[in-house]
Amino acid sequence: MRLVPRALWNAAGASWRENFPLGGRDVARWFPGHMAKGLKKMQSSLKLVDCIIEVHDARIIPLSGRNPLFQETLGLKPHLLVLNKMDLADLREQKKILQHLEGEGMKNVIFTSCVKDENVKQIIPTVTELIGNSYRYHRGENLEYCVMVIGIPNVGKSSLINSIRRLHLRKGKATRVGGQPGVTRTVMSRIQVCERPLVFLLDTPGVLAPRIESVEMGLKLALCGTVLDHLVGEETIADYLLYTLNRQQLFGYVPHYSLGGACDSVESVLKRVAVKLGKTQKVKVLTGTGNVNVVQPNYSAAASDFLRAFRSGLLGPVMLDQDVLAPC
């Protein structure tokens, strides 16, 4: 998908938007209140836990997405960062990403894909080693390990738990997986995921509200589906997607929708996508001589499809935090 098709060479030389208009957006509203309550519950369960697995989306480098309140507590327990959805991420700069994370104090990092069960097998041995090298306070005598899985919404926490369980115990789903953020809400309880060593995970992952340092970070999180789309606006997210793809010269959307060429106007792209998909709607227009029915492109349906295609990897892999890596 990285290869720029011949027809797009001209487009690749074109100039794309340097900035995305960020003003007037109330990012604080994008994350629902139930997450703050979850944090308290997680903090009270921490004394039962030997290790924390923090799951994040591999397309965003998890600096700003992390909740500072939890981060204070994280230092006390062995910590493994799992960067999931690697099948959707452009990881050509993996070395830089790891260096960057190490600079932020995150030494134990594994990239995974739960849809392909890629690298998931490395998790239990790594966790066991981390716990073995740590002081377990009052849990030193206990031969079973208890691990807490945490992370912001929709990054694949439940999928990871199910995947670990499937690979080590050959058992089916223990926790619900959903395409919408915020599926996991119920009280935490333990489930076994491995026999030797005996490892339990808190079966309901801890859902953290991300700390959004900037509107742009909020838009990246929205693009990855960690926020309910309607709170941000699908067309806004679609516009941010188009801006990102063009800036990074990722023109996979052009052949995907058989568009004539790349374009930086979201209105024009969504119009062509809507027509291509046959997503049009009749709208009544008031004229001087009465009401007239006009067929218009359904921009909202086109935006939904554009986002869905991106999120399922059909437009190619992406690294949304290239700007964070640039000064490394």
Ligand X SMILES: Nc1nc2c(ncn2[C@@H]2O[C@H](COP(=O)(O)OP(=O)(O)OP(=O)(O)O)[C@@H](O)[C@H]2O)c(=O)[nH]1
| Rounded distance between C-alpha atoms, residue 152 and residue 206, angstroms | 8
Q: Which is nearer to ligand X, 183 or 277 (CB)?
A: 183
Task: Please return the burial class of 58, using the count of CB atoms within 10 Å of its CB with bins 0-12, 13-18 and 19+.
Answer: buried
What's phi and psi for 160, nearest 5 deg? -65, -45
Does the annotation flag 158 for ligand binding? yes
CB of 141 to ligand X, least distance (A): 32
Q: Which is nearer to ligand X, 257 or 310 (CB)?
A: 310
Instruction: Name the 3-class secondary structure at 184.
Output: coil
Which residue in 38, 62, 65, 205 binds ligand X (CB under 6 A)? Answer: 205
Match 């953290």 to its residue by tokens: 208
User: Between 281 and 310, how does the x/- string for binding to ligand X read (CB under 6 A)?
Assistant: ------------------------------
Cis peptide before 197 (omega within 30 of 0): yes
Q: Which stretch binds ligand X (CB under 6 A): 133-141, 174-182, 188-196, 301-309?
A: 174-182
Contact call for residue 197 and ligand X (CB under 6 A): no
Largest interatomic CA distance in the chain = 86
Q: Which is nearer to ligand X, 154 or 246 (CB)?
A: 154
Match 């239990």 to its residue by tokens: 124
CB of 226 to ligand X, least distance (A): 8
| Rounded distance between C-alpha atoms, residue 241 and residue 89, angstroms | 14
Contact 300, 235 (CB under 8 A): yes
User: If you ran DSSP here, which 8-state letter would residue 312 be given?
Assistant: T
User: Between 100 and 119, how does the x/- string for binding to ligand X read (CB under 6 A)?
Assistant: -------------xxx----
CB of 38 to ligand X, least distance (A): 9
Which residue in 21, 105, 125, 179 binds ligand X (CB under 6 A)? Answer: 179
What's phi and psi for 90, nearest 5 deg? -85, 105
Which residue in 7, 69, 169, 177 binds ligand X (CB under 6 A)? Answer: 177
Q: Which amino acid is at 205?
A: P
Does the annotation flag 116 for ligand binding? no
Query: What is the total count of residues that contact ligand X (CB under 6 A)?
Result: 25
Q: Which spans of this chain sit near ligand X (rule: CB under 6 A)?
A: 84-85, 87-88, 113-115, 151, 153-159, 177-179, 181-184, 205, 207, 313
